[in-house]
Structure 1
């Protein structure tokens, strides 16, 4: 199952990602409404709760009358636990589910009070650190991707609204590195923070996908299928090859009709549609590499020239490759 997972996770590449360290005294509540497509949060010390979007908005927390399963409930966090939340809906981190937020994280990395007063200078405690008491008992680390284009659509589609891993379920020691880099102010530090955010996300998702009880996405489960798994490995290892349904079926050792039907049943889309999305996700990543030309990227991902790639890219992503490179806020 490694090939598909590696390729999907390799699409996570933050650019201008945000990481912060909060030092908080109970009662505390932070509502994050910055519209980021994906966020992570973890406690270094103290205790807290994460309230996903269905709970955080509208506030307050729904009472006992809510139907089971209709809305994800608040989830506790202990030191070393990590939460991954899919945006752009808001979420709340608090010392208790009943504590209303008194700090709002807005788009553009702006911190305000509930009534809109800017608090950035008032609560600044140093480099990327905020709070009102440097010796407060709770330390919270949080970060987020700022552009949908920094993440593959296949990855975002695979994630639940919120997932939480306990400290014993993943490499929680990584948070020591995260905390160390957050407060560092050195040349090129944003680039370092971007890669730290990527490393954190990959570490968490790798552990999550490996859990037997995880609701792994179809492309992950299909890797173990004796027919479709063969084709998936080929599509991920050689995305630029001129694959057809017939050639993939031949590699898998079944008829074209049987292969197409089985692939579509397991993946929810035909083989060529899967390949087209795979190629565009790879092209999006390659386009952000320094010096990459449109023609070279096109040839690498299986298009005849830059014109063909540009047309396909805009059809799938909604913007041209040039707009994407310029930092256009593309959809996943």
Structure 2
């Protein structure tokens, strides 16, 4: 069971929005917060990522070079500029050619060129998965000097398709942007020390917790108990519960309920299934019990959640 893929698929609520941005110094972009996670890929040239002036955070400006990838966990507002001293403005809407999945934005003067791919992944922020919450606010990954070869390859392919679009580019580019999110998270997880004692970076490779997580994700409808999950882990109930809670951040059965509700929300958004069928697939013996649990988790009954998702 590929837990990372499952987690991301459960949180996705739409296709990524992406814009090819071409800047000539001096240039500066003031980017507002988005409902999801933001990303930037530097395809050519250099620039700076800066916090908004009115932020309470003390994060320092980040210098970006060709091949660098930025992932903004909660899509917070920020600035991009050729230099930290350049005045940044809110850009005009990007231009989208008919049928194209990528918008285009050109700005600045007549100085040094910077080319970026900027965008956002639409993620369900109502009940974010703990994995997302344990990421830093800003993930900065450098792909130079042989680091993260798969991410490097994805960035190079994106750059080539955007620089010289050909037959099939309209299908290839969105697929690469989708894959980019997995590559970013994989690279970040791989960068975490093997001696980590807490967090998902450790949980996904822990010999006691990982088998139980895989079992929950593979079959959320099963009547799992702490004892049966501990059996999967090959350890005692107390040892398993303590280890799971330490790494995942909540007890095993609380996580099981979270995953069932996350799975149910995804089915309501994407599948044409009856509420009874969704209740069965998420481990509830009746539609009433499922509806009660879903409303407690999401603040809406399942039918209302589905109508709201279809309207947006």
Q: Same fold (TM over 0.5)?
A: yes
Q: Which residue of 2 aligns with 1:45?
A: 44
1:56 to 2:36 alignment: no
* d(CA) in 2 for partners of 1:134, 1:16: 32
Deviation at 1:91, TM superposition (A): 1.1
Which has the higher mean CA deviation after the structures are superposed, 318-327 or 138-147?
318-327
Deviation at 1:85, TM superposition (A): 0.5
Deviation at 1:225, TM superposition (A): 3.3
What's the secondary structure of 2:152's corresponding residue?
coil
1:163 to 2:163 alignment: no
1:285 to 2:266 alignment: yes
Residues 69-99 of structure 1, C-alpha deviations (whole Å, 9 max, x = no match)? x722111111111100022421111112222
What's the secondary structure of 1:11's corresponding residue?
helix
Pick the aligned partner of 1:83 from 70, 82, 86. Answer: 70
Deviation at 1:273, TM superposition (A): 0.3
In structure 2, relative to structure 1, the CA distance for the partners of 1:134 and 1:26 (3 Å cut) is: closer
Number of equivalences: 298
Q: Which residue of 2 aligns with 1:204?
A: 184
In structure 2, relative to structure 1, the CA distance for the partners of 1:181 and 1:310 (3 Å cut) is: farther
Deviation at 1:12, TM superposition (A): 4.6
Q: Which residue of 2 aligns with 1:229?
A: 210
Deviation at 1:287, TM superposition (A): 2.6
* d(CA) in 1 for partners of 2:127, 2:197: 18
Q: Which structure is richer in relative contact order (CA contacts within 8 A, separation 6 or more)? A: 1
In structure 2, relative to structure 1, the CA distance for the partners of 1:28 and 1:285 (3 Å cut) is: same
* d(CA) in 2 for partners of 1:217, 1:5: 17
8 A Cα contact 1:20 1:129, kept in partner:
yes
Pick the aligned partner of 2:83 from 88, 91, 96. Answer: 96
Give 5+ residue unaligned stretches, structure 2.
none
8 A Cα contact 1:13 1:150, kept in partner:
no
8 A Cα contact 2:197 2:247, kept in partner:
no
Give 5+ residue unaligned stretches, structure 1.
63-69, 105-110, 112-118
* d(CA) in 1 for partners of 2:173, 2:127: 16
In structure 2, relative to structure 1, the CA distance for the partners of 1:79 and 1:14 (3 Å cut) is: farther
Deviation at 1:138, TM superposition (A): 1.5
Deviation at 1:288, TM superposition (A): 2.8
1:300 to 2:281 alignment: yes
Summarize the alignment of residues 1-332 of structure 1 with structure 2, pairs less than 5 Å apart. Answer: 3-51=2-50, 55-58=51-54, 71-102=58-89, 104=90, 111=91, 119-120=92-93, 124=95, 128-132=103-107, 137-148=113-124, 152-168=128-144, 169-170=147-148, 171-175=151-155, 178=158, 180=161, 195-213=175-193, 218-328=199-309
Deviation at 1:262, TM superposition (A): 3.0
8 A Cα contact 2:75 2:120, kept in partner:
no
Deviation at 1:45, TM superposition (A): 1.0
Which has the higher mean CA deviation after the structures are superposed, 163-172 or 285-294?
285-294
